[in-house]
C-alpha cells in the first residue's frame, strides 16, 4: 500500500490502521512522520508529489492500492499559498493517476466538502451542484483544484480503465490535526489556558467527523469493488454550530468560554468567503459501503482532548488559520 501525504493528519492515521491490519506500507510525504507515530514496517519516502520520478519509486509494480491524500490543506494556506494549492492538487494528482495506471494499482483520491462551495441546498448528495464565488477570491482555489482532480480521476477511470474511488471528507477532526481548525485550535488554546476564538457570529454549521470514522470509510473505499468509479461523501450528518462546538470543548477542558471574537473580513479579507452550512447526504456510502459515522461529537472531543494532554509536542505547535 502507498499513502501519499502519509505523514499528515489523515494520512498518518491511515498508515497506522493499515499497519495494524498487517499491510506493508510506504508513506510518501514532504514532511517527516509525527513524533508519536512509530511503525517499524513503514517505509517513509520523502518527496514532493509533483516530482514524478521520485513518486515512481513509491508507486511500483506490486502495489495494490494508492491512497492519495497529499494536498495543501487549511483556509489559512488557501489564502497564503493559492498557487501551491492548485499545483500540488492538480499536477500531483495527475502524477499519481498516471503511475497507478501503469502498475495496475487502484487509487483512492481524497477530496473535500469544499467542492460544493456555498450551495445553500443542504444536505448535499454527491451529484449536487457546485456554487462558488469569484475566481479572484483565493478561497475557491482549493475547491476548484480538488474538483479538477476529481475530473481527472473520473477521466482516467473511464478512458484508461483505472480502478479509482473518490472520498469527500467533511470536517474531519481528531488527534494530530494541525491547530488551525475549529476543533483542533479550540482544544489547543484551551489546554494552554487561552480563551477560544470564534469567527464572526459562530452560527456557521458543520458536520464534524471523528478521524477513526473517516479512516473506516477510506479503507472500505479502497477494498470494496463496488466503490470503483464512484464518489462518496464521508462525514457525520449531525449538524452543529461552530459556537456549540467551542462551548463543548470549553466544558470538557474545564475552561470558561470567554470568547475572543474575530471578524473574518477584517482578519482574513474578502478572499475568505465563509460557508454558512455544510451538511452531507451520506446515503450512498451507507448503501454501497455499509458505512456511516458512528462516533458522537462529545466522545470524539473527549478522545482528542485526552490525546492532546498526553502529547505535549502537539501543544507546542504554532496556532493558525480559520478552519
The grid coordinates listed for 294 are 458512528
Helix (H, G, I), strand (E, B) or coil at 111: strand
From the candidates 142, 169, 181, 210, give the one annotated as an active-site residue. 142
144: left (phi over 0), alpha (psi -120 to 50) or beta: alpha
Please classify residue 281 by burial: count the beta carbons closer than 10 Å to its beta carbon, then call 0-12 exposed, 13-18 middle and 19+ buried: middle
- How many degrees, rounded to 5, is the angle at CA 33 between CA 29 and CA 38? 135
Residue 212: closest CA among 254, 173, 266:
173
List residues bridging with 222 in a β-sheet. Answer: none
Residue 26 neighbours by CB under 8 Å, 6+ apart: 1, 2, 3, 6, 42, 43, 44, 45, 58, 63
Active site residue 142: yes
Whether the Cβ atoms of residue 75 and residue 112 lie closer than 8 Å to each other: no
Residue 50: closest CA among 86, 111, 91:
91
The CA-atom distances, in angstroms, between 220 and each of 100, 190, 216, 276, 289 are 19, 35, 6, 30, 6
CA distance 30 to 48: 5
Whether the Cβ atoms of residue 102 and residue 160 lie closer than 8 Å to each other: no
Name the residues annotated as catalytic.
142
Amino acid at each position: 500500500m502507498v499513502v501519499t501525504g502519509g505523514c499528515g493528519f489523515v494520512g498518518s492515521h491511515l498508515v497506522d490502521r493499515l499497519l495494524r491490519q498487517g499491510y506493508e506500507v510506504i508513506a510518501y510525504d514532504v514532511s517527516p512522520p509525527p513524533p508519536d507515530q512509530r511503525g517499524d514496517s513503514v517505509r517513509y519516502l520523502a518527496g514532493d508529489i509533483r516530482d514524478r520520478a521520485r513518486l515512481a519509486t513509491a508507486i511500483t509494480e506490486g502495489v495494490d492500492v494508492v491512497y492519495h491524500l497529499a494536498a495543501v490543506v487549511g483556509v489559512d494556506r488557501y489564502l497564503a499559498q493559492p498557487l501551491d494549492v492548485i499545483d500540488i492538487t492538480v499536477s500531483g494528482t495527475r502524477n499519481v493517476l498516471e503511475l497507478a495506471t501503469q502498475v495496475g494499482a487502484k487509487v483512492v483520491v481524497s477530496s473535500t466538502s469544499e467542492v460544493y462551495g456555498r450551495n445553500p441546498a443542504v444536505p448535499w448528495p454527491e451529484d449536487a451542484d457546485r456554487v462558488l464565488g469569484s475566481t479572484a477570491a483565493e478561497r475557491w482555489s482549493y475547491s476548484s483544484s480538488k474538483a479538477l482532480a476529481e475530473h481527472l480521476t473520473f477521466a482516467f477511470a473511464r478512458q484508461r480503465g483505472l480502478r479509482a474511488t473518490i472520498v469527500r471528507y467533511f470536517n474531519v477532526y481528531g488527534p494530530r490535526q494541525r491547530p488551525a481548525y475549529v476543533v483542533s485550535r479550540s482544544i489547543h488554546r484551551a489546554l494552554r489556558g487561552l480563551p477560544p476564538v470564534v469567527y464572526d457570529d459562530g452560527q456557521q454549521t458543520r458536520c464534524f467527523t471523528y478521524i477513526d470514522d473517516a479512516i473506516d470509510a477510506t479503507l472500505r473505499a479502497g477494498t470494496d469493488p463496488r466503490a470503483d468509479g464512484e464518489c462518496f461523501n464521508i462525514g457525520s450528518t449531525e449538524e452543529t454550530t461552530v459556537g456549540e462546538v467551542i462551548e463543548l470543548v470549553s466544558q470538557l477542558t474545564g475552561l470558561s468560554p470567554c470568547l475572543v471574537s474575530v471578524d473574518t473580513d477584517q482578519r482574513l479579507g474578502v478572499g475568505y468567503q465563509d460557508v454558512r452550512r455544510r451538511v452531507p447526504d451520506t446515503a450512498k456510502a451507507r448503501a454501497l459501503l455499509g458505512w456511516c459515522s458512528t462516533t458522537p461529537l462529545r466522545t470524539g472531543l473527549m478522545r482528542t482532548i485526552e490525546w492532546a494532554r498526553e502529547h505535549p509536542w502537539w501543544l507546542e505547535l504554532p496556532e493558525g488559520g480559520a478552519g
